[in-house]
């Protein structure tokens, strides 16, 4: 049996092992893309039907070092979460806990301060216009929070969660803060986060030119977004390829 094959076989009794592997891959690849914020920012993944129990990164661990076994298993309805010996970051609990309590369709939640999305979040108009295929993916599928209220402790998290109640909305541009992306799976959320950052980069650099933008019509933008919504298997294949690379280069992420 090959080494690669052995690395893929679960050698653990950890609950939700495959989900942990997917999430650990997402953390490490986000670090490789320089979309991380060192030991800040957080990803979470619901593991029960109600969406209230979720995996999340441990407090103050660099994205590039996170392993499957490091991930915390948290109950969004447990008021004593922050008093335990292995408590998560308070802002992670405030934001992700509120979303998993209030937005059952947000199975995976990824929040980053990636450079171009954060530049977009810093503009007076933080909406992303459909100027290319990538940005058209998000037409009518993102919302802007223009009421930043400080660190995302519980009150701020509850407020933000109310902006995601429409199942069509998959991205929240957090004004003066960053971006938050939701998805059905780790693959779905990571793929969306990746392409949103790419789209934001294209838009910001287009603005740098100072020349008029060629913006797609609403009809073509919606058509493109709908086609991307239904595009088969792309997100799963994206994450699968990233795991294959990590299996060769740093398989410890599966531990």
pLDDT recorded at residue 12 = 66
- Residues in the chain with pLDDT < 70? 1-12
pLDDT recorded at residue 254 = 98
pLDDT recorded at residue 232 = 87
pLDDT recorded at residue 2 = 40
pLDDT recorded at residue 85 = 80
Burial class for 192, CB neighbours closer than 10 Å (0-12, 13-18, 19+): buried
Beta strands in 153-255, from DSSP E residues, in sequence order: 171-174, 178-183
Per-residue pLDDT of 28-76, as tens digits, reads 999 999 999 989 999 999 999 999 999 999 999 999 999 999 999 999 9
pLDDT recorded at residue 172 = 98
- CATH number, position 92: 3.40.225.10
pLDDT recorded at residue 11 = 55
Q: Determine the Cα–Cα distance for residues 117 and 114; give it in Å rounded to an integer.
A: 6
pLDDT recorded at residue 47 = 98
Residue 75: φ, ψ to 5°? -110, 115
Q: Compute the mean pLDDT over every residue in the chain, rounded to the nearest whole number.
A: 93
Per-residue pLDDT of 164-185, as tens digits, reads 999 999 999 999 999 999 999 9
Number of domains in the chain: 1
Q: Is this model's pTM higher than 0.85 or not?
A: yes
Would you call 18 helix, strand, or coil by DSSP? Answer: helix
Range of the domain at 88: 3-254
pLDDT recorded at residue 150 = 79
Q: Determine the Cα–Cα distance for residues 148 and 156; give it in Å rounded to an integer.
A: 8
pLDDT recorded at residue 9 = 52
């Amino acid at each position: 049996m090959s080494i690669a094959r052995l690395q893929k076989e679960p050698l653990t009794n950890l609950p939700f092992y495959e989900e942990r592997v997917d999430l650990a891959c997402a953390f490490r690849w986000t670090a490789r893309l320089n979309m991380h914020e060192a030991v800040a920012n957080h990803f979470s993944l619901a593991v029960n039907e109600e969406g209230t129990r979720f995996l999340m990164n441990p407090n103050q661990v660099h994205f590039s070092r996170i392993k499957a076994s490091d991930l915390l298993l948290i109950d969004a309805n447990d008021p004593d979460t922050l008093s335990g010996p292995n408590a998560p970051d308070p802002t992670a609990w405030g934001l992700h806990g509120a979303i998993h309590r209030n937005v059952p369709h947000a199975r995976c939640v990824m929040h980053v301060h990636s450079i171009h999305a954060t530049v977009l979040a810093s503009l007076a108009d933080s909406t992303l216009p459909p100027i290319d295929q990538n940005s058209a993916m998000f037409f009518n599928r993102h919302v802007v929070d223009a009421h930043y209220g400080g660190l995302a402790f519980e009150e701020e998290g509850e407020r933000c969660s109310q902006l995601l109640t429409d199942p069509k909305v998959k991205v929240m541009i957090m004004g003066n803060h960053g971006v938050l992306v939701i998805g059905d799976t780790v693959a779905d959320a990571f793929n969306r986060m990746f392409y949103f950052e790419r789209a934001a980069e294209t838009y910001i650099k287009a603005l740098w030119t100072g020349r008029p933008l060629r913006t797609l019509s609403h009809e073509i933008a919606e058509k493109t977004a709908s086609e991307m919504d239904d595009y088969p298997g792309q997100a799963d294949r994206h994450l699968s390829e990233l795991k294959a690379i990590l299996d060769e280069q740093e398989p410890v992420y599966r531990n």
